[in-house]
A and B are shown apart, each in its own frame.
Chain A
Amino acid sequence: MTDSDYIATLSYEEKIIFLKIFCCLVRADGKIDADEISFLKNIAARYGVDNATIVGIIKEPHINYVAEAQKIRNRQHALQLVKEMCVLANIDNNLADAELDIVIDSARAMGVEDEKIVLINRWVLDSLILTKTGEVIMEQNNG
């Protein structure tokens, strides 16, 4: 299932849940870098959620991400959320303990097995490395 496939199957409420958990991740290590902001903007655009809603979510003082994750009952949606969380956690040059807490607790709240989390994380890392390498080779990045 491609990104556009799974997004089309999410309800508006599920999209908001996803975005809330992403915002928790972004705030988890205490710093927000350009890649994370870019990820949030990009994903909000893909989800069809306006910037004002995103800003409102980012500003929300406390989000109970476990309670939010428990509302995701669809297995495919749960796996996609784990995947997106792994992307966000690994895309910067730091993997904070707090980020891993959010990934693991949210995944477990959705009934995703630990072994599956490990596999998805490995796959996401490999994909990110290949994508970024391709960008360098094809001279598509600014670095």
Chain B
Amino acid sequence: MDKAELKHTLHSQFVPLAQAVEAKLQCLQDNDVFLSDAYAEDIDNYSDDDSLENAFNSTLSASSVPMYQTPKMEEIKNMQQTPQPTYVNEVPTTESINVHKQNIAAKIAALRGISMPGDYLRDNK
């Protein structure tokens, strides 16, 4: 590079500092500092969970892969449809409780020599 060309290049880089600072401040005030325009546009393009999920996963694979992999939406839905764990004994309903009471009453009655379990229930309400 000859000297004249180099001087020209260095001159062309120069902007008076005060002017450059003012322009920079204006730029900071005008723009959203958290999202670039391109990123904001990408978010607007995702109208449903699946495409956002896919975009998120594809972004993850493009960069360094984290130790934790976000479960795919399908996996999450499958988990939700998995039957809930059952109790050792079934959750009692009102009807079953009444049947249970009658059974107990019948046993007590049998022990006490009462012929009708219903008698015990009637007498002990």
Contact code string A28-68 (vs B, CB < 8 Å = 1, else 0): 00000000000000000000000000000000000000000
Q: How many residues of B contact A (CB 8 A)?
A: 18
Tell me the complex Cα distance, A130–B11, Å: 19
Report the nearest B residue to A129, measured CB to CB: B20
CB <8 Å contact, B17 and A129: yes
**Interface size of A in residues (CB-CB distance below 8 Å):** 26
B-contact bits for A74-101, CB 8 A (1 contact / 0 none): 0000000000000000111111010011
Contact with A along B2-31 (1 / 0, CB 8 A): 010011011101111110110011001000
Chain A residue contacts of B10, Cβ below 8 A: 95, 100, 103-104, 117-118, 121
Establish whether residues A121 and B13, one from each chain, have CB atoms under 8 Å apart when the complex forms: yes
Given known A93-B18, A132-B17, contact A117–B6 (CB-CB < 8 A): yes
Contact present for A133 and B24 (CB under 8 Å) = yes
Q: Measured between alpha carbons, how far is A55 from B61 in the docked complex, in Å? A: 61
Q: Is the CB of A114 within 8 A of B6?
A: yes
A122 at the interface (CB under 8 A from B): yes
Alpha-carbon gap, A92 to B15, bound state (A): 10
Given the contacts A93-B18, A100-B11, A128-B17, A133 and B6 also touching, CB distance less than 8 Å:
no
Which A residues are in CB contact (< 8 Å) with B17?
Answer: 90-93, 128-129, 132
* CB-defined contacts of A137 to chain B, threshold 8 Å: 25, 28
User: What string of 1s and 0s marks CB contacts (under 8 Å) between A100-115 and chain B?
Assistant: 1101100000000011
Contact call A95/B21, Cβ cutoff below 8 A: no
Contact status of A100 and B7, CB under 8 A, knowing A125-B13, A125-B14: yes
Q: Check if B15 sits within 8 Å of A125, measured CB to CB.
A: yes
Chain A residue at minimum C-beta to C-beta distance from B7: A100
Q: Report the separation of the CA atoms of residues A15 and B18 in the bound assembly, to the nearest whole angstrom.
A: 30
Q: Which of B1, B9, B17, B24 has the most CB of A within 10 A?
A: B17
CB distance from B51 to the nearest CB of A (A): 38
CA distance A121 to B10 in the complex (A): 7
Q: Please, how many angstroms separate the alpha-carbon atoms of A95 and B123 in the complex?
A: 110
Cross-chain pairs A/B with CB under 8 angstroms, 10 sampled: A97-B7, A100-B7, A100-B11, A104-B3, A118-B10, A122-B13, A125-B15, A129-B20, A130-B24, A137-B28
Listed in ascending order, the chain B residues whose CB lies under 8 Å from chain A are 1, 3, 6-7, 9-11, 13-18, 20-21, 24-25, 28
Ranked 7 nearest A-B pairs via Cβ: A114-B1, A93-B16, A95-B14, A133-B24, A129-B20, A132-B21, A100-B7
